[in-house]
Amino acid sequence: MAATALAAPRVGTHDGYTRVVFDLPRTTSASTRVSGQSVTIRLGVSLPAAQGKLSAPGLTAYTVKGSTVTVTLAKDHGSAKVSVLPPRDGQGARLVIDVPTSVAAAKVPSTPVRTAPAAVTRPTGTRAPTRPRVVLDPGHGGVDPGMRSPWVQEHEVTLAVALRVRDELRKHGVDVVMTRDKNADLSADKATDLDMRSRLATTGKTSAFVSIHVNASTNPAGQGIETYYFGQPLDASRSRAITENGGGSVGAELTRRAANSAQNLLGDLLAQAKLAFSRQLAQKVQSHLISATGAVNRGVQTDAFYVIRNPTTPAILIEIGFGSSPIEGPRLAQPAYRDRVATAIARAILDFLNMK
């Protein structure tokens, strides 16, 4: 019996190569051959016929016929690296084709990418000549105060907590960069402000980027702590991301861009491998925070937050509680509670850096 149709491939362009990713049927075998300007893959299952154009450097089109998938390379492009990745972490099998597009082709990573996480700069417990660098981002500030309630203002809470995290990390030899250290923004334009904050994560060898925020809800019963890493929003309305990305039409546009970036990263196996470190950091932070505060555990999630969209650095966004809650709002106003939150975040980061 014929299998369901093969979905159109995901295509990503990179420095020196183009990557094509096909999601394969859950159970299949595959053999590949690169000859001339064609990449031919024979699968152990028959598929409905399909074809389409591939508008990316080094590629022209693909066809599916029976058990054969053929990708046609552009003129003067006669080489490709092909591999099939087995199902893993809830994902099905994937066919990955990397097509060199320049003399930088030698940089095309070989697959499978199980060793890709080693490419991420992550300090180990042994002391290195350079100290690990962490960027702390106290959410909002300046023209954008963030959430406000009878008990707290977000920009003030996030800064107070981030400064405490900074001091704790510096005690352990971590180089800390603050996106702000007072009630200020990096730009009055929200898109520029968020972009400038995220760029700090790509300056030098940054080991982690941590953005700290305070949650809010129209429902006074809403409370708890949650930690995010970059990915597709689980909330179809994207309301949380829109709010943190500036709100209104600006927030909606930045969320749209970030969601598109998240979609494009799905086919980038190297980026996915690096995002695994963001997930690991998020899990450690969430665990430490819940243990230290006893707050409601809202878990680790993904969302299209613009400020953490860069996949080259482990990056997370923490919602340390609901300032709108009659329970958590007063807590977040207390210096002692802020200390507990900050200490938990710092210890989680040190744990992630293997510096405990």
Q: What is the pTM of this model?
A: 0.61
Highest mean pLDDT of the ranges 39-43, 119-123, 308-312? 39-43
How is the chain split into domains, by residue range? 10-112, 133-352
Q: What is the pLDDT at residue 272?
A: 66
Question: How does residue 121 score in pLDDT terms, banded at 50, 70 and 90?
Answer: very low
Average pLDDT over residues 168-196: 90
* pLDDT for the residue numbered 291: 95
Cα(290)–Cα(319) distance, rounded to whole angstroms? 12
Do residues 17 and 101 touch, judged by C-beta distance below 8 A?
Answer: yes
Q: State phi, psi for 289 to the nearest 5 degrees.
A: -65, -45
Q: Which residue has the higher pLDDT, 99 or 208?
A: 208
As a whole-number percent, the residues of the chain with pLDDT over 70 amount to 78
Contacts of 122 (CB under 8 A, 6+ apart): 207, 277, 314, 353
Residue 113 has pLDDT above 60, yes or no: no
For the chain, the three-class secondary structure string (H helix, E strand, C coil) is CCCCCCCCCEEEEECCEEEEEEECCCCCCEEEEEECCEEEEEEEEEEEEEEEECCCCCEEEEEEEEEEEEEEECCCCCCCEEEEECCECCECCEEEEEEECCHHHHHCCCCCCCCHHHHCCCCCCCCCCCCCEEEEEECCECCECCCECCCCEHHHHHHHHHHHHHHHHHHCCCEEEECCCCCCCCCCCHHHHHHHHHHHHHCCCEEEEEEEEEECCCCCCCCCEEEEEECCCCCCCCHHHHHHCCCHHHHHHHHHHHHHHHHHHCCCHHHHHHHHHHHHHHHHHHHHHHHHHCCCEEEEEEECCHHHCCCCCCEEEEEEEECCCCCHHHHHCCHHHHHHHHHHHHHHHHHHCCCC
137 has pLDDT over 60: yes
Nearest of 146, 113, 138 to residue 275 by alpha carbon: 113
Q: What CATH topology corresponds to 10-112?
A: Immunoglobulin-like (2.60.40)
Question: Which position has the higher pLDDT, 6 or 65?
Answer: 65
Measured CA to CA, the distance from residue 310 to residue 208 in angstroms comes to 11
**How much is the pLDDT for 4?**
62
The pair of structure tokens assigned to 57 is 């450097």
First to last CA, the chain: 56
Contacts of 335 (CB under 8 A, 6+ apart): 160
Q: Which CATH code fits 133-352? A: 3.40.630.40
